[in-house]
Structure 1
Amino acid sequence: MFEVETKIRVPDLPEIRSRLVRIGAGTPSVADQQDVYYNHPVRDFGRTDEALRVRYEGERCTLTYKGPKLATKGAKTREEFNLTVESGENLEEVLRRLGFVRSAEVRKHREEFALGTASVALDEVDGLGSFVEIEVMAHEAGAEAEKEIERIKGELGIEGSHIPQSYLELLKQ
């Protein structure tokens, strides 16, 4: 699967939340997320544009691998694999024993709305501020997912430039 997403810094999450409810996005899932990033023992993921993340969200824990960003005009597109794990602590211990190095942590409060085939996340990221992420999962990289993102962005009245960097990259700047 490919993750196609756009991230936009916004000044007013409550207004966007109201618009989402008005257009029928329904009740969001709300969670505090802790993302712990690991670097490969012999390959620098910062240089290869990959990511290995352990996400804690309530009682859930997910291991995510993200491949390098693909060259596209607008939204960020990359391959993504997710695996739910029973114990994040055990997973992190296995990663450490295999030589992976804990490199960073990102904490955020997220409200995630389902909107058709897309998800819209309202994020408050510690140390960075407020953002909206619009994401479409697709079987192949292509313009259709980007068109859907632009349609939703317009419907919600979201203005601003696409930020191609991850929250991790923004925190490291």
Structure 2
Amino acid sequence: MPSNVEVKARVCDLDFLAQRAKELSGSDGTVIKQQDTFFTVARGRLKLRDFLDGSGQLIFYERPDMDGPKLSNYSITPTNDPEGLRRVLSDALGQVGQVKKERRLYMVGQTRVHVDCVEGLGNFMELEVVMKENQSTEEGATIANQLMQDLGVKKEHLIEGAYMDLLLAKGLQNGH
């Protein structure tokens, strides 16, 4: 199963973070609109990511809910019928809720830097250090910690869990 080391944090200064990500990646980033539907499963998380253009991805992942760098194992498959798949999975498993976001993706080395505007929650930054075959979790965490420093992300802004968890805690199952 592929893995990455992830970090998620609240963003206090969106302009500064976006500028630093642009400088570090050497690009303007790619804007991606996403609607994630989470389904009820016995372990891990199962979400259907709808890119709102007729394409999507079904993603299963497991990672500990803690702040700071953490290892996430995942499997993913594309779909050309996200709406149909959402209906079937909702009928079969039940929905936990939905997360709607606009994401700007920057690549910095082997790390995906996401600058996210999440409906109902605000602005966040997510780092995903895509692990190479023989790389240790510690190496991934070192890369993530260095990038956090380079982006001006402070430890007190780190969050644990998924956006879905934050929405549920606010009583916002569907992003609003």
TM-score range, shorter chain: 0.7 to 0.9
**Residue of 52, 58, 71 corresponding to 1:63:** 58
- Please give the TM-score of this superposition, normalised by the length of structure 1: 0.86
Match of 1:76 in 2: 70
Match of 2:114 in 1: 121
Q: RMSD across aligned C-alpha pairs, in angstroms? A: 2.0
Contact 1:30–1:111 (CA under 8 A) maintained in structure 2: yes
- By how many angstroms is 1:58 displaced? 3.4
Q: 5+ residue gaps in structure 1?
A: none
Contact 1:36–1:106 (CA under 8 A) maintained in structure 2: yes
Match of 2:174 in 1: none
Deviates further, 27-36 or 159-168: 159-168
Find out whether 1:104 has 2:97 as its counterpart. yes
- By how many angstroms is 1:106 displaced? 0.6
Match of 1:132 in 2: 125
Amino acid corresponding to residue 149 of structure 2 in structure 1: G
Q: Deviations over 1:125-160 (max 9, x none)?
A: 111111111111224661000100111111122224
- By how many angstroms is 1:22 displaced? 2.4
Match of 1:6 in 2: 7
Amino acid corresponding to residue 144 of structure 1 in structure 2: E
Amino acid corresponding to residue 150 of structure 2 in structure 1: E
- By how many angstroms is 1:86 displaced? 1.3
Amino acid corresponding to residue 60 of structure 2 in structure 1: Y
Match of 1:52 in 2: 46
* C-alpha distance 24-114 of structure 1, shift in aligned 2 (>3 A): closer
- By how many angstroms is 1:116 displaced? 0.7
Contact 2:110–2:129 (CA under 8 A) maintained in structure 1: yes
Contact 2:101–2:118 (CA under 8 A) maintained in structure 1: yes
Alpha-carbon distance in structure 2 between the residues aligned to 1:24 and 1:39: 36
Q: 5+ residue gaps in structure 2?
A: 170-176
- By how many angstroms is 1:73 displaced? 8.4
- Secondary structure class of the residue paired with 1:23: helix
- Secondary structure class of the residue paired with 1:11: coil
- Secondary structure class of the residue paired with 2:37: strand
Match of 1:93 in 2: 87
- By how many angstroms is 1:93 displaced? 3.2
Alpha-carbon distance in structure 2 between the residues aligned to 1:36 and 1:82: 14
- Please give the TM-score of this superposition, normalised by the length of structure 2: 0.84
Amino acid corresponding to residue 94 of structure 2 in structure 1: V
Match of 1:35 in 2: 36
* C-alpha distance 153-13 of structure 1, shift in aligned 2 (>3 A): same
